[in-house]
Amino acid sequence: MNLPKKPMNLAMVAGARPNFMKIAPLIAAFNGDSCFDINLIHTGQHYDQNMSESFFRDLRIPEPRHRLQVGSGSHAQQTAEIMKRIEPVFIQDEVEAVVVVGDVNSTVAAALVAAKLDIRVIHAEAGLRSFDRTMPEEINRLVTDSISDLLLVTEESGRTNLLREGRDPKQIVLVGNLMVDSLRHNLNEAMDSDILTRLQVCGCFGLVTLHRPANVDNDGKLTEILSALSEIAEDLPLYWPLHPRTRTKINGIGLPSAIHLLDPLGYRDFLHMQAKASVILTDSGGIQEESTVLGTPCLTLRDNTERPVTVEAGTNRLAGTSKVSILNAWQESKESPKAGAIPELWDGQAGVRCHAAIRGFLLPS
């Protein structure tokens, strides 16, 4: 009698808030595929209730098989700690392939360990480039892509960048955007949220997020951004869920009462606010994508973006980080609003296409 073949141990690694929205539809797409044993590993890069656990609940992500509980630290400390803790897991579980998503420290750390153990690496959201190597995320993207065996891209710029870097076209698959899958699958429930009632929001409002070290750790840039936000708040009340690092940096700084500082929000509450906002001011990559799908005007508080399709086709504008550039972008958005269009394959089926690409790569017929 032929015994059934053991399922392939496929590790999926997530550690920070943006990862969870990308990993959820990927896990769902593999549900019921008996050829794979999905091994979810949560590094704990984001670890508090609002930055992590509420996302597992809202997105219906199954309990991770491993929680590494890495916590915070400098980029070097955090990356090194993830590598130290994830290596014995890969070895003990006899992991045969690893899927990493996005561009956080968990992504590059897991990819490096897997590559050194001769485990195949699959990068979802590959090929995005800001061409700004002062961004830690850009270094993570470059390193991860250079050692990945299968590169799953969200937009055509990803394919173009990877080909320019000499990658084999056969390793690159345009699959669409996993983050958009989560948005589309959760939007109806998100629209039932009572978050605006709880916050006593009346009428139009703007939504703010800010977390990148280049903005919040640079006193000059932070002062310029806060000054611009204060002026915008004279026209439009702003609601700002604070990343923990940002709260520390602005603690003690006097802001107008029309800028409402909030604790981090759960996924559906935040999605509801994005959909209802008159404008979003952010330095987040994922929010540029979500706002484009929702049709909400977005002002990105950066001089560059690794997601150019959100500017070329979507509702996003690069606003820079000076008070003058931000206020100019704000004025332009009011005078000449962008209609925006949904990029190719941002249709809620990226998880299905990722599953097909990964299955074809790991289990060729």
The domains found in the chain, sorted by start residue, are 8-176+346-362 (3.40.50.2000), 187-335 (3.40.50.2000)
The pLDDT of residue 49: 56
Give per-residue pLDDT as tens, 241-271.
998 888 888 988 889 999 999 999 999 999 9
364 vs 361, higher pLDDT? 361
pLDDT the model gives residue 3: 45
> Which position has the token pair 């008159």?
278
The pLDDT assigned to 334 comes to: 96
Structure tokens of 309? 């399709």
Q: Which two tokens stand for residue 58?
A: 């809202």
Q: What pLDDT was estimated at residue 52?
A: 62
pLDDT confidence of residue 147: 98
pLDDT for residue 16 = 86
- Name the pairing type of β-strands 298-300 and 172-174: unpaired
Calpha distance 333→249 (Å, rounded): 28
What value does the mean pLDDT take over residues 137-142? Answer: 97
Residue 42, SS3?
strand
Q: What is the pLDDT of residues 194-235, one digit of tens each?
A: 999 999 999 999 999 999 889 999 999 999 999 999 999 999
Number of other CB atoms surrounding residue 49 within 10 Å: 12
State the Cα–Cα distance between residues 195 and 187, nearest whole angstrom: 14
Which residue among the candidates 66, 75, 211, 272 is catalytic per the annotation? Answer: 211
What gap in Å lies between CA 290 and CA 271, rounded to an integer? 8
Closest by CA position to 123, among listed 115, 134, 135, 133: 115
Give per-residue pLDDT as tens, 35-52.
999 999 999 876 555 556
> Which has the minimum average pLDDT: 54-63, 99-108, 110-119, 254-263?
54-63
Q: How does DSSP assign 46-65, residue by residue?
A: S-SIIIIIHHHHHTTPPPPS
Task: Please report the pLDDT score of residue 365 as a whole number.
Answer: 78
- What pLDDT is recorded for position 11? 98
Q: What is the reported pTM?
A: 0.94
pLDDT in the model for residue 68: 95
Please give the pLDDT value at position 245. 80
Residue 112 tokens read as: 């490096």
* Better-scored residue on pLDDT, 23 or 70: 23
Catalytic annotation present for 75: no
pLDDT for res 220: 94
